[in-house]
Every structure is written in C-alpha cells, then in structure tokens.
Structure 1
Amino acid sequence: MTTDTRPVYAALAPIILVVLAVDALLTLVLEVLYLPTYLGAVAFPISALVAGAVNVGLVYAAGTVSDRASLRLLPLLVWTLGFLICATSGPGGDVLLGSNWQTLLLLFCGLVPPMIYVART
C-alpha cells in the first residue's frame, strides 16, 4: 500500500518553491560563467549540458510539492527570466551572453529537456 506524502509538505511548499527558484538563479549564474570553457583551442560548453540536467531536477523537485503545472514550471520560468537578463546589456554596455552558438546551446539545453519532462509527466 502506498501513501501520498504531499500533505506533509503542504505547509512547506511555498518555502520549497522559493528555494528552488533561487537555486535556478544560482545555477544560471554558474552556467553563464562557465559557458566560455575551452579544452585547448576548442570551445567546450559543458555548462549547457549541465543546465538541462539541473533544470529537469528543479522541475522534478517542484513537482514533488505541487501538482499545478504553473508551480512546477516556476524554477524554469525564473531561469528563463535570468537568462534573458544576462542576454541584455547592462548599464556599461556589458553583455554576459554573446550572440554565438554557445548561448543558443545553453538556451536550448536549459529549456527543452525540462519541457519534454513536463510534457511526459
């Protein structure tokens, strides 16, 4: 006989979702910082692959405390907004994410795997 543990988390659900949203921003910062990684003379954006796995994990964790799709996608929404902020220029004209294939790969890997996971569950 299986039991549902979601009522136990009902009181902690808002706190857990906020922590997951903050975690999405923290992981985005690390992914953006490590995006221009090179192995010798070859670009090796390993953080784009990590982004997909981490975002699937964040969506899964949000799904353990909420059945609503909007709340399950909250970490992904925060990650996407953070990505868009990093892609725009700052006050001094600095841009963290350039217009190159690594940035497109980070966006693709950060959004597509979690969306496939949500669509299948």
Structure 2
Amino acid sequence: MPVPDRLFLALLVFDAAVLAVVELVFLPLSFDGYLLPNLDGFPLPLTQLVAAVTTPLLVARAGELSPRPLVASAPLVAWIVVVAGVGLFGPGGDVLLTADWRSLLLFACGALPSAVVLGRVLATALGGPS
C-alpha cells in the first residue's frame, strides 16, 4: 500500500477513535432542563445516530483503500477498542458506559452497520455481488 494511503488509513482510524470518545461523552445527553429543555429526563439518542452514520462511512472508505480484512476493518476495530476501553476505564476511573439501554444501543448502532459494510467490502473483494 502506498504511503499516502497508509496516512489516510491512519487518519480514518484516528477519526474513529475521536468519534468514539465524543459519542461516549455525550451518551447521557437527555432532556433534563440543564442543557436541553426539560421533558422529564427523556433521553436523546443523538450519539447512537452519529455512530450509525459515521462508523460505516469510515469502514467503507478504508475498504476503498484496500479490500484486505485488516485494512478494511481498522476503523471498526479502533472504534470498538476505544468505546470499550474509555467507556469502562475512562479518564480518572470514570465509567462512561452505563448499565442501561443507551450503551447497548451505542454498540449496536456503531458495530452492526459497520459489520455489514465490512462484509460487503470483503464479499466484493472475493468476487461476489457488489
């Protein structure tokens, strides 16, 4: 793989890591009257939507660089490692992944669409239908 492609892959992995941290920080966002209007603490699943859109895009761009599994899955692996690592062993020992449906939805919205895109990239590389 040429050097510009390697640098672009490093940028994609870095983007995935930064997005994972931002999604974790804003995971408990809700309509509680502090930052958003008061709607009895109704949760706002904004970070899950961001994960569902951005992580598959990063995997698709990495798959365009090279259809090899290690290259194509690099942003997804980085996103999962950062979400799990920072979410469970966060800064100062804070646990950012809470034991509720929002954390599970974050993993599902980030990992499942990305896995589908990764499967499509690998199937295309093997000569399957695009």
TM-score normalised to the size of structure 2? 0.79
Return the alpha-carbon distance in structure 1 between the equivalents of residues 107 and 57 of structure 2: 16
Q: 2:114 maps to which residue?
A: 114
Any residues of structure 2 matched to 1:1-121 within 5 Å, and which? 10-39=2-31, 40=39, 41-90=41-90, 92-121=92-121
Shift of 1:90: 4.8
Distance 1:29 1:93, change over 3 A: closer
Given that residues 56 and 117 in structure 1 are in contact (C-alpha distance below 8 angstroms), is that contact kept between their aligned partners in structure 2?
A: yes
Given that residues 16 and 76 in structure 2 are in contact (C-alpha distance below 8 angstroms), is that contact kept between their aligned partners in structure 1?
A: yes
> Any unmatched runs of 5+ in structure 2?
32-38, 122-130
Distance 1:45 1:68, change over 3 A: same
**What is the number of equivalent residue pairs in this alignment?**
113
Q: 1:6 maps to which residue?
A: none
Return the alpha-carbon distance in structure 1 between the equivalents of residues 67 and 75 of structure 2: 14
> What is the one-letter code of the residue matched to 2:3?
A
Shift of 1:53: 0.8
Return the alpha-carbon distance in structure 2 between the equivalents of residues 21 and 95 of structure 1: 23
Return the alpha-carbon distance in structure 1 between the equivalents of residues 13 and 4 of structure 2: 14
Distance 1:37 1:120, change over 3 A: same
Distance 1:12 1:43, change over 3 A: same
Return the alpha-carbon distance in structure 2 between the equivalents of residues 19 and 93 of structure 1: 28
> Any unmatched runs of 5+ in structure 1?
1-8
Given that residues 20 and 79 in structure 2 are in contact (C-alpha distance below 8 angstroms), is that contact kept between their aligned partners in structure 1?
A: yes
The percent identity for this pair of structures is 33
